[in-house]
Structure 1
């Protein structure tokens, strides 16, 4: 497990209120593989809150990713849905949990919110 991934999981509860509205209610098990071993994380999501623990357990959904891909996801260099569609990672269970969890990942470096770009352009037109 990389230090960046450790920090990412530690920070999840502090971002839950801004990221999770009424989107998800359930447990997502995240399995990160590296060098013939797998680390397991349980992420219990409720509207506005997250609890994170290590280990396996009853889960409504399971997502498997390599540790290297997960590092790219937490830096915005890769996108979760695209990784699943390209079969770089696998997912089973309640898809709403995966879609909600991906909101914790940052946007790709250099991207801009189109709404902010439009606001700036409108301000210059006045």
Structure 2
């Protein structure tokens, strides 16, 4: 398995308090394929807490992706919702889970929050 993917999943429990602030609970199974091999990650999310295991298990949603695409997601070179809409990966089950989980994924390099851009424009004109 790719080192960037391993580091991403290892970082989730420490990052959960800052990322998962809403009263949301659910389990997502992430299946990553490379050739004819599939690696499984089970991510249990609750407010401020994440538990990650490398197993298949009961899940509220399942995300299927190539390991290559997921590596691009965890390094900010691809965006999750765009990948789903382009059918580069599949997702089934509770769709709110992908929206919660994508908060852990980094923004693409050079991406800016549009609210900050608007604040800069207001500051220049005022």
User: Shorter-chain TM-score: which interval?
Assistant: over 0.9
Is residue 6 from structure 1 mapped to residue 6 from structure 2 by the alignment? yes
Residue in 1 that maps onto 2:48? 48
Q: Is the 8 A contact 1:23 1:100 kept in 2?
A: no
- If the length of structure 1 is used for normalisation, what is the TM-score? 0.93
Residue in 1 that maps onto 2:123? 123
Unaligned runs of 5+ in 2: none
CA distance in 2, matches of 1:83, 1:17: 26
Residue in 2 that maps onto 1:32? 32
CA distance in 2, matches of 1:115, 1:23: 25
- The 5-angstrom pairing of residues 26-105 of structure 1 reads 26-105=26-105
- If the length of structure 2 is used for normalisation, what is the TM-score? 0.93
Please, what is the CA RMSD of the aligned residues?
1.3
Residue in 2 that maps onto 1:113? 113
Secondary structure at the counterpart of residue 22 of structure 1: coil
Q: Is the 8 A contact 1:65 1:90 kept in 2?
A: yes
Secondary structure at the counterpart of residue 17 of structure 2: helix
> How many residue pairs get matched?
126
1:82-102 alpha-carbon deviations (Å, 9 max, x no partner):
111111101111111111001
CA distance in 1, matches of 2:96, 2:112: 25
Unaligned runs of 5+ in 1: none
Secondary structure at the counterpart of residue 78 of structure 2: coil
